[in-house]
Amino acid sequence: MILQKEANRMSQSFLPPEIRQMPVPDRVALVERIWDSIAEDQSSFELTDSQKAELDRRLTAHRASPEIGRSWEEVKKGILNS
């Protein structure tokens, strides 16, 4: 619990105050726009072999039991409603 509080404090200190003051839905939208801009520059974004293996493992697990887990829309709705 102490480590989590310290991690939260540290992550907040790296954000400009104007971003911290934005409503959560606006911050989520900002993160999505940032992520989209990273995805556009795919040549500068290379997965490591271990990341590729983890994605393959997760895809295999999903295909074996697709009913387990939540969709991105469900996760996003939970974030925006918190």
Kindly report, residue by residue over 37-73, the tens digit of the pLDDT: 888 887 677 889 999 999 999 999 999 998 898 888 9
User: For residue 46, what pLDDT is reported?
Assistant: 82
Question: CA–CA separation, 11 vs 28, rounded Å?
Answer: 16
Nearest Cα to Cα of residue 18 among 27, 5, 28 = 27
User: For residue 1, what pLDDT is reported?
Assistant: 52
Residue-wise pLDDT tens digits, 16-36 = 999 999 999 999 999 999 989
Question: CA–CA separation, 52 vs 45, rounded Å?
Answer: 13
Type of residue at 66: P
In which band, very low, low, confident or very high, does the pLDDT at 14 lie, cut at 50, 70 and 90? confident
Q: Is the pLDDT of residue 12 over 60?
A: no
